Each structure stands twice: as C-alpha cells, then as structure tokens.
Amino acid sequence: MQQDPQAGTPLPDHADPVILTEEELNEILTIRRDKLADLKARGRDPFWQVLYPVDNTTSNIHARFDELEGKPVSIAGRIMSRRIMGKASFFDLHDRDGKVQVYARIDALGEEVYEEFKKMDLGDLVGLQGEVFRTHKGEISVKANEITLLAKSLRPLPEKWHGLKDVDLRYRQRYLDLIVNPEVRRTFILRSRILRELRGFLDERGFLEVETPILGTIAGGANARPFITHHNTLDMDMFLRIAPELYLKRLIVGGLERVYEIGRNFRNEGISIKHNPEFTAFELYEAYRDYNYMMDFVETLISTLAKKVLGTTTITYQGTPIELAAPWRRATTLQLVQEATGIDFDLIETHEAARKAAQSIGVHIKPDATWGLVLNEVYEARVEHTLIQPTFVIDFPVEISPLTKKKVTDARLTERFEVIIGGREYGCAYSELNDPIDQKERFLDQARRREAGDEEANMMDEDFVTALEYGMPPTGGLGIGIDRLVMLFADAYSIRDVLLFPTMKSMK
C-alpha cells in the first residue's frame, strides 16, 4: 500500500481548541480521533488505502472449510468483537454475508503489526491474510499473518449483545442497524432474492420488463391522493405516480402483449405499519387473458416464489400458520358477505335497502353510498380481516373498479379479484376494461366524484381513452404490493422493517 511521503507533517485537527466541537469532547470520540491522528503522524493514514486483494468471504470459509483448511485466504471486513489475551488475540470479522473468527498472534504478525492491531477499535475495517484452521474448541478460524487497517471507525458501535433497539435510530441510521442486527441484513437479502426470483419467473414466461413515467401530469390508475411537485422551466405542477397501470395498458395497445413493471408508487396518505408513502408495486399485463387466468397465475407465482426463496410453501406469519400451496379458495364478495353477515346483497335491489342492511349490522356507511359501495364497505368491515389462508375474493362492485370489465351476467359487478392472506390484501387483478366508450363514461363518473370533493377519485385521462379507441386486446392485469409480500415472507410486523429507508419526519 502506497503511503504519501508528506505523511509525517499533518497535525490532528482537533488539537486546535478553537475548532474543538462539543461532540469531540466525548472521551471515546476523542480517543479514536487521537488514534487516527497518531496513524497519520506516522504516515499510516488508513484513509489512503484504496484497495485490498480480497479473494474470499467469511461464509465461503465456513461452507468450504474442508477444502480450505490449511490454505491461505485474503478477506476483509469489520472488527465486531475482540478477545485480547496479551500476545495472542481473537476477533470476529464481519463481511457482507457472515463472520469468521480471526486468530492474531504476535509471533505470526510481528511486534509492530501486533501492537498496531491492539490499538484498533471495534468497528474498524481491516483486510487480512492468513490460513484457515480450526481452534481447539472447534471454531473455524483464520490465523492471520498480515492485518491492514483499511478504514478507521471514529464512533463507537451500538452494544454488541443487545444490538441497536431504538426504533427511531434503527430507521434513521439504517447503516448501524445493518452492522449490528444480523436479522435486518437477512431481511434485505431475502427481499433481493424475492425480486430476483420474481423477475426470473416472468422472464421464463416471456414478459418484458418496462419502465414508465413516475413524473406526470395525470395521476391515474388508482384511487389515491398524489404528491404534487413542480417543474421549474415548464412552470407547471406535476404529480408523482400513484400507479403505472394506464401506461402499461398503453403498451398492451402498442402490441407488447406481455409487460410488467416493478417500481415505486407514491401516495400522499397516512403512514402505518402497513403503509409507507412510497412503496414498491408490481404490475403485470398479459393480452388475451382474463381474471380467471390471473388467479391460476398468482397461485403459481406466490407458491413458486415461496418454494424458491424459503424452500417451503408452509409459512408462519406473526404466529399464524399459512399454507401458500395452490389451490387457494375462491369466493365472491357476495358469498363471503353472506357467510359473515347473513345478508344476501344479491337480493337487495335498491341503494337505500343496501344502506339499511349495512346499518342493521352496525357497519358505518356514507348517507349517499350506492349498493356497490355499501357491499364493499361491508366486505371490508366484516370479511377481509377474517380471511387468513390465501383467498381470491372475486367480483367487486363497479363503483370502485373504474378500469375493470363489468361482468356480462351482472352489470353491478366487475371481473376483479383481490388476494387476501392473513387478513390483508396483497394484490388485485382484473379483466381489463378495453371498451373505450365505457371507459370514458367511467372516467366521467369519477370526475363527478372528484368535483363532489372525493380527492381520491380517478383523474380523466383522455389519451388513455384514445389509446383504447385504437383497440386493446382483452387483457388480464395484476398488481401485487412487493413490500407486503416481503413482509409475509420475512415475517415482518411493520412495512418499515422491509424498507431500507422508510419515510420519517425530519428532525428539527
């Protein structure tokens, strides 16, 4: 490693009392900065290190111990715990996917290097070369014959045994959370694997991954309040997307036939253990398919992902056993509401009778709610949270489904289903509305709702109607919340546990 020839001259910054900050008064911080200053003064500034010839990882050393025993390896990582016993020491080196114990002794390293090693701190990043062996107590280890400080850690890490528990700090300083809480790292590795397997599954089936605008002048494709931003040179307000749906269906019109997008949506709504203002949506469209096909597709997709990523379709979410293997139950909203409440909405013919029926069982509804809105309210209030094993809930009212084909047999309902697991919605799919005249009417209906004060009603998208006028094949569409899927697979209680950097208030 090259060292700067002028290294002997610099003075420690904090030696000047004028720029001594309050923070540096802390004993531990001061000592670590002093150690760094000492290294600099001796021409050994660790921050001049630019590379290290790493040729192995800690997990590989464990996995292939039999063939690596007695062989030299070169690894690098963070010192996470130390047991110094005079002229010999052990420490744990953590790298990206594991840790290994390192044995450092003065006669292997030489006096100078060993003394430098003893001055290193927990949290320092080092590279080392040594031989793989097993200790008397049986622990796979590396006997170091060279250790190089690659970066100095100037702050003490959170406690080694209890880790970092303060939830606020864990989210705001996720890097610390990742350093000291191994299960957090596992969750995000799992998240990456889920996405990789999802893409593989779709690739095998001939889907094209596409990217559509996040920034636009119409926020369509869902019922939600958008974030508003401003473009300076165009001098116009723009929206962050709430769903990619209308763009993806334009691509179906364009003849791409099988497309999907995995990307961020933004909704200007409340934050909860199930909601983050930005979240990752997966939407897929396949021409010449309907929602029945999509049910088979979803069953296969989720159970395949579980098998590939978790090795099983039998999982436990927050203590509740869930079986993800196909087939899943399929039941209509009408059936499920009748099962749960005894009320058969199919036989209710007027909006007023529907409202009275809901009120009779104590479900709160708006005074002008229509039959379909009431049915949906009752479903959400009395059914959704009770569906623990994977269930396709089928045929939602037309009022809440402005982009979905109506059922040929019942114009009050649409060919739409939701995927419910553990009482939560994981996805939604439908036979896409491709009738431009009907679509325009639905947009106009939504526009009336907007004017009546419903900020979540869909915005009119004239160009989307124009696209449909050129002809869109019958198409099955699907949307799945990736964050919630990761929560399910990782057994995470809060959405924030599967987002590396969840949305937080700014500290004042």
Question: Could you tell me the smallest distance in angstroms from the CB atom of residue 223 to RNA?
Answer: 4
Q: Which residue in the set 178, 214, 224, 310 belongs to the binding site for RNA (CB under 7 A)? A: 224
Rounded CA separation 482/196 (Å): 12
Question: Could you tell me the smallest distance in angstroms from the CB atom of residue 160 to RNA?
Answer: 5
Spatial contact of 240 and 226, defined as CB atoms under 8 Å apart: yes
Near RNA in 292-321, by CB under 7 A: none
Rounded CA separation 506/203 (Å): 40
Question: Could you tell me the smallest distance in angstroms from the CB atom of residue 193 to RNA?
Answer: 25
Q: Which residue in the set 41, 256, 400, 460 belongs to the binding site for RNA (CB under 7 A)? A: 400
Question: Quick check: 500 binds RNA (CB under 7 A)?
Answer: no
Nearer to RNA, 214 or 325 (CB): 214
Question: Quick check: 395 binds RNA (CB under 7 A)?
Answer: no
Nearer to RNA, 135 or 229 (CB): 135
Question: Quick check: 230 binds RNA (CB under 7 A)?
Answer: no
Question: Could you tell me the smallest distance in angstroms from the CB atom of residue 499 to RNA?
Answer: 11
x/- binding map, residues 74-103, to RNA, per CB under 7 A?
A: -------xxxxxxxx-x----------x-x
Near RNA in 113-152, by CB under 7 A: 119, 121-122, 133, 135-139, 141
Vertex 92: Cα angle to 89 and 98 (nearest 5): 160
DSSP 440-470: HHHHHHHHHHHHTT-TTSPPP-HHHHHHHHH
Q: Which residue in the set 2, 17, 18, 22 belongs to the binding site for RNA (CB under 7 A)? A: 22
Q: Which residue in the set 19, 70, 161, 175 belongs to the binding site for RNA (CB under 7 A)? A: 161
Near RNA in 442-471, by CB under 7 A: 456
x/- binding map, residues 24-43, to RNA, per CB under 7 A?
A: -xxxx--x------------
Question: Quick check: 418 binds RNA (CB under 7 A)?
Answer: yes
Spatial contact of 144 and 116, defined as CB atoms under 8 Å apart: no
Q: Which residue in the set 1, 20, 189, 273 belongs to the binding site for RNA (CB under 7 A)? A: 273
Question: Could you tell me the smallest distance in angstroms from the CB atom of residue 378 to RNA?
Answer: 12
Q: How would you class 323 by CB atoms within 10 Å of its CB: exposed for 0-12, middle for 13-18, buried for 19 or more?
A: middle
Question: Could you tell me the smallest distance in angstroms from the CB atom of residue 5 to RNA?
Answer: 29
Question: Quick check: 106 binds RNA (CB under 7 A)?
Answer: yes
Stretch that binds RNA, among 39-47, 201-209, 298-306, 498-506 (CB under 7 A): 498-506
Question: Could you tell me the smallest distance in angstroms from the CB atom of residue 323 to RNA?
Answer: 23
Question: Could you tell me the smallest distance in angstroms from the CB atom of residue 361 to RNA?
Answer: 16
Spatial contact of 151 and 120, defined as CB atoms under 8 Å apart: no
Q: What is the end-to-end Cα distance of the chain in Å, rounded? A: 43
Nearer to RNA, 164 or 294 (CB): 164
Stretch that binds RNA, among 12-20, 183-191, 201-209, 222-230 (CB under 7 A): 222-230
- How many residues make contact with RNA (CB under 7 A)? 73
The candidate with the shortest Cα–Cα distance to 477, out of 409, 396, 417, is 417
Nearer to RNA, 101 or 303 (CB): 101
Question: Could you tell me the smallest distance in angstroms from the CB atom of residue 283 to RNA?
Answer: 11
Question: Quick check: 362 binds RNA (CB under 7 A)?
Answer: no
The region, left, alpha or beta by phi > 0 then psi within -120 to 50, assigned to residue 378 is alpha
Question: Quick check: 428 binds RNA (CB under 7 A)?
Answer: yes
Rg, Å, the chain Cα set: 30
Rounded CA separation 181/177 (Å): 5
Rounded CA separation 188/96 (Å): 12
Rounded CA separation 496/503 (Å): 8
Q: How distant is the alpha carbon of residue 447 from its chain centre?
A: 33
**Residue labelled with tokens 């309907």:** 290
The region, left, alpha or beta by phi > 0 then psi within -120 to 50, assigned to residue 423 is left
Question: Quick check: 380 binds RNA (CB under 7 A)?
Answer: yes
Neighbours of 373 (CB within 10 A): 19
Backbone angles phi, psi at 88, to 5 degrees: -145, 150
Question: Quick check: 162 binds RNA (CB under 7 A)?
Answer: yes
